[in-house]
Structure 1
Amino acid sequence: MTAPDSLPYRPCVGIMLFDARGRVFVGRRIDTPDAWQMPQGGIDDGEAPEAAALRELEEEIGTAAAVIEAGTAGWLTYDLPGHLVGKLWGGRWRGQRQKWFACRFTGTDQDIRLDTAHPEFDAWRWVGIDELTSLIVPFKKAIYAAVIEELGPAVRQRAAGTSQAERS
């Protein structure tokens, strides 16, 4: 068996999809009871991370009605817990190397459909940005904290600007 630390990281994107009120989309994973997460997924060979983010939104939540507002400056990584290495992704990866994007949702709640070709979520909801780390599985908490620290200000600023414009 290959040592986990000799395996590469899976190239991936993550999407912090937010609505006009600054709430963030989370979906409850079909395969992990009570595990909620933001959309994420692999980058295809030759695909730009921005294109992958919008494709993953469509594949996972049935819509790509979003505009990219910000992205992490670099890549963030996490390792899978030992008991999952070798079981996920055909045993090819030790974890994920992720580029995250804050995306403003431009659709309506009715545009979100979980009955996609390969469903990953069985429920969804909008949550406050400060709730995210309490919802995610433990081995991804540090990544979520880093994403919130880096992209949270853009989400809050954009939501505050939208709210002011709506009041005018």
Structure 2
Amino acid sequence: VAAVIIHPTENKVLMFRRLAEKDKNSGFLTDGGQLKWNWQFPQGGVNDGESEEEALFRELKEEIGTGDVKIIRVGEKRIRYHYPLKVKRVLDQQPQWRPFRGQQQRWFLLHLNCQTDKISFNHHPIEFDAFQWISPRKGLSRVVPFKRKAYRKGLRMLGVL
């Protein structure tokens, strides 16, 4: 799932800066070394027995500390991206990332029901360290290149771009 939170009055979306730390065992960066483009939307996989909507709310709570959102629109198709070989080689050296080849995501357009001061990064593991309202087009330039095509498709499908 991928969560796009739209600003209530401006054509802006809420993007989050992915935290990159060195893995204690491998010494590799936890984001695969993509520090230059480390902004994204909250996203994640669907657990066994979980609906996509349940996964959405769980991921929001885990990643940004709140699931207080209203679903405005749901993308009609899932959108897939794959890790490029260079990134996959780095991720393969970190056991927790080895099974992943990319993601297939259902995109959700959301309205945040609370103020942004309810967003928190004090849960474990911490995935983000900052957020910003940004135009969708400018936000695309801050996304890791191998995800840009998927992000463009998702934003267009939701009518944001």
* TM bucket, shorter chain: 0.7 to 0.9
Residue of structure 2 in register with 1:63 after alignment: 66
Letter in 1 for 2:35: P
Runs of at least 5 residues in structure 1 that lack an aligned partner in the other structure? 1-12, 157-168
Structure 2 residue aligned with 1:78, among 78, 81, 84? 81
Residues 57-103 of structure 1 show CA distances to partners (whole Å, capped at 9, x for unaligned) of 11101111101111111111111010232346432132111111001
Query: Is 1:37 matched up with 2:40?
Result: yes
Computed over aligned residues only, the root mean square deviation of the Cα atoms, in angstroms, reads 1.7
Q: Is structure 2 residue 137 aligned with structure 1 residue 133?
A: no
User: Match for 2:128 among 121, 124, 127?
Assistant: 121
Distance 1:132 1:50 in 2: 24
TM-score with structure 2 setting the length = 0.81
The structure richer in helix per residue is 1
**Structure-2 residue corresponding to 1:10:** none
Distance in structure 2 (CA, Å) of the matches to 1:149 and 1:135 = 17
Residue of structure 1 aligned with 2:117, choices 75, 95, 110: 110
TM-score (norm 1): 0.78
> C-alpha separation between the residues in 1 aligned to 2:35 and 2:93?
18
Residues of 1 paired with 2:116 and 2:104: CA distance? Answer: 30
Return 80-89 or 50-59, whichever deviates more: 80-89
Aligned to 1:150: 157
Question: Does 19-28 or 39-48 show the bigger shift?
Answer: 19-28
* Matches of 2:51 and 2:80, distance apart in 1: 18
Gap regions ≥5 residues in structure 2: 21-33
Number of aligned residues: 142
